[in-house]
Structure 1
Amino acid sequence: MSSHDHDELDECVRALESVHAFLHNELLEADADMIRHHLHACERCMENFEIESTITEMIQRSQVPAAAPVTLTSRITRLSVRRRA
């Protein structure tokens, strides 16, 4: 294990558990800041993050953007208009 100035085990576990939510911007800003700080301090976690980031990017690029069927879109629009009235 490399030496860190933080509680390596707890912070690394928390960072790695949150990496997917972090990559998808699903964390509160304070939590995202904590992950950023940890990644800058921990080379091993940064390496894992970079791997996960690359995989996520490749998956996103390989997926064809899906649009909702026209019938569903029109049903939702009609429901929205009714609720506002």
Structure 2
Amino acid sequence: MDECVAALSRVHSFLHNELVERDADIIRLHLHACERCMENFEIESTITEMIQRSQETAASAPATLTARIQAMRVTTRR
């Protein structure tokens, strides 16, 4: 059951390709082995696809904003 909780808590990150490959592989293996989690994943995947299709193409952030955010990320990682 703990594996199910862990897998489902990271399903959104998995759907958005935000996990490192090792973590994504762990989620994939669990989903293939657990029918209940796979059903939940399929529902979340369908909802995510519907949301993405309903949104207009997002405008890109201004280059200056992107640069400022990247600078902040580098600063906070040290």
TM over 0.5: yes
Q: From the superposition, tell whether residues 33 and 68 of structure 1 become closer, same or farther in structure 2 (CA, over 3 Å).
A: closer
Q: Which residue number in structure 2 is paired with residue 82 of structure 1?
A: none
Aligned to 1:28: 20
Aligned to 2:19, the other structure's residue is in SS state: coil
Percentage of matched positions with identical amino acids: 74
- Equivalent pairs counted in the alignment come to 65
**In angstroms, what is the RMSD of aligned CA positions?**
1.6
Aligned mates of 2:60, 2:22 — CA distance in 1: 34
Q: Which residue of 2 aligns with 1:47?
A: 39
Q: What is the match of residue 9 of structure 2? A: 17
Q: C-alpha deviations, 1:4-41, integer Å up to 9, x for none?
A: xxxxx110000000000000000010000000000000
Runs of 4+ in 1 over 4 A off after TM superposition: none
Pair member with larger Rg: 1
Gaps of 5+ in 1: 1-8, 80-85
CA separation in 2, counterparts of 1:55 and 1:68? 24
Offset, 1:66: 1.9
The letter of the residue matching 1:47 is E
Q: CA 1:68 to 1:27, structure 2 compared with 1: closer, same or farther past 3 Å?
A: closer
Structure 1 length as normaliser, TM-score? 0.71
